[in-house]
Amino acid sequence: MSLDLSHTKFDEMLRRSAMDFMRGDAPKRVVEELLETDIGMSEGMWKKMADLGWLGILIPDQYGGALNSMTAAGVVLEAMGTGPLPGPYFSSSILGTRIVLEAADESQKEEILPGIVDGRRVLTLAMIEADYTWEPETLSTRALLTEAGFVMDGIKLFVQDAAAATHFIVAAVTEDPATLSEFVSLFIVPAASRGISVKRLPGFLSGRTFEVTFKGVEVPGSALLGNRENGRRALEAAIMKSIPLLCAYKVGGCQSILNMALEYSRGRVQFAKPIGRFQRVQDMIIEIANHADAARWATYEALWKQDVKGFDPESIHLAKVLASEGYWQACTLGHQVFSGLSYSMEHELSFHTRSSRSLYDYFGDPGFHRRKLGKILLN
């Protein structure tokens, strides 16, 4: 049979270099420092990621990128998830890139994408509002057509990596002046534009999420990605296609937690034996392994399906449910294995706990994706 769940030689090389990068450039101490910053990334590290070709991993050659398979990109994201390495890599080189590829016209791609590849340009999506939903039906941010272009007003919430971004991709409602019908449209807006203010949302578990306020922000007509009508479709496609790579990041996190818990339970002695000998502790570790493996193989399959079939919603929803829940639960179970030690902000498990919480709802919580699966299964 054609079944072969090995990575290619190329992907294995990529994994080795990504894991070397994590060990050498992003060890625990560095991750810990980055987690405290608003940007989550250092200039040096960003430059190195550009040199390695990772920033353009989804960008075709003609725009200067080093387009790779989803499976290969998954290898990089999985390695980053072991840190977990913070920063705008996913927001810019995965999601942001994908939105541009889906929505922008040719000249916009030529304008935007090379900057992502060399790291000058950092994108992030500003879509979510107070009424938290990943189906943008009820956006209140509006972009009014003017003679010079558009004027934007609205408040975007839980925006990832807003402090790192050089440009926001803003989802806003526009109106066709002739028919008065409304559309969700996408705009690329420099973060330094007049009228934009950015505030980080405090909270240990909130990750790097921000409120971004747009108050009378003027953008030229060329800021509209593609046309007015295609925003919603492009957004949905880009988000769905990016989900498996977010899952890969979570898989890296799960594996890292499993390794940590195994190591600790072999060495930590209580009642005169390593705690791993206690069946209660084994129960928790086995459950972590089950979560990690379920997330891993569902993610790998979703990545593979995207590589060979283009777009397969069923596998994407499945992977998102398993990876979001798996990462969350692996952290919770991990804290039970480590107990007091892991409540320290310096403990690596706490890095993952922050990330598992702040990414749980990102692109829709497991309930959202379960409902989507239900629709597919019963229709």
Partner 1 sequence: MDFSLDYTEKQESFAVEVRKWLDENLPDDLIPIRDVCKMSGDQWLKRREFTKKLGRKGWLYPGYPREYGGGGLTPEYTYVLVEELSAREMALPPLYDMGILASPAILAFGTEEQKQRMLPPMFKGDVITWQLFTEPEAGTDAANQQTNALRSSREKDYFIISGHKVFVGSFPSRPEQMYVLTRSDLDAPRHQNLSSFVIPGDLPGIKVLPLDLFTLSTFPAVSGVTGANVEGVKHSVFFDDVKVHESCLIGKEGQGWMVTNATLEVEHGGGRGGVVRKNYMAEKFLEICKTDPVISRRLKNNPELTDSVVEIYIGSQVERLLNMRNADGKGAAYGGPQLALYSKMFGTRFVSHMARVLGPYAYTQDEKYALAEGIFEVGQRCGICLAPGGTPEAYKIGISRALGIGR
Residues 3-22 that bind partner 1 (CB under 8 A): 3-8, 11
Degrees, nearest 5: CA angle 375-377-379 = 60
- Decide if residue 192 touches partner 1 (CB under 8 A): no
- Using CA atoms, how far apart are residues 120 and 193, in angstroms rounded to an integer? 17
- Decide if residue 272 touches partner 1 (CB under 8 A): no
Choice between 186 and 294, CB closer to partner 1: 294
Neighbours of 226 (CB within 10 A): 17
Shortest Å distance, C-beta 357 to partner 1: 22
Asked whether the beta carbons of 46 and 87 are under 8 A apart, the reply is yes
- Name the amino acid, one letter, at 359: L
- Decide if residue 277 touches partner 1 (CB under 8 A): yes
Q: Which span sits near partner 1 by CB under 8 A: 12-20, 46-54, 151-159, 315-323?
A: 315-323
List, in order, residues 6 or more apart from 28 with CB less than 8 Å away. Answer: 348
Shortest Å distance, C-beta 289 to partner 1: 7
Out of 14, 285, 330, 331, name the contact with partner 1 by CB under 8 A. Answer: 285
Q: Give CA torsion, residues 123, 126, 132, 135, to 10 deg.
A: -80
Choice between 153 and 301, CB closer to partner 1: 301
Residue among 373, 347, 369 at smallest CA distance from 360: 369
Residues 54-93 that bind partner 1 (CB under 8 A): 71
Degrees, nearest 5: CA angle 345-351-366 = 130
Out of 41, 94, 100, 281, name the contact with partner 1 by CB under 8 A. Answer: 281
User: How do 167-175 and 123-126 pair as beta strands?
Assistant: parallel
- Site of interaction with partner 1 (CB under 8 A): 1-8, 11, 71, 262, 265-266, 274, 276-277, 279, 281-283, 285-286, 289-290, 293-294, 297-298, 300-301, 303-305, 307-308, 318, 321-322, 370-371, 373-374, 377-378
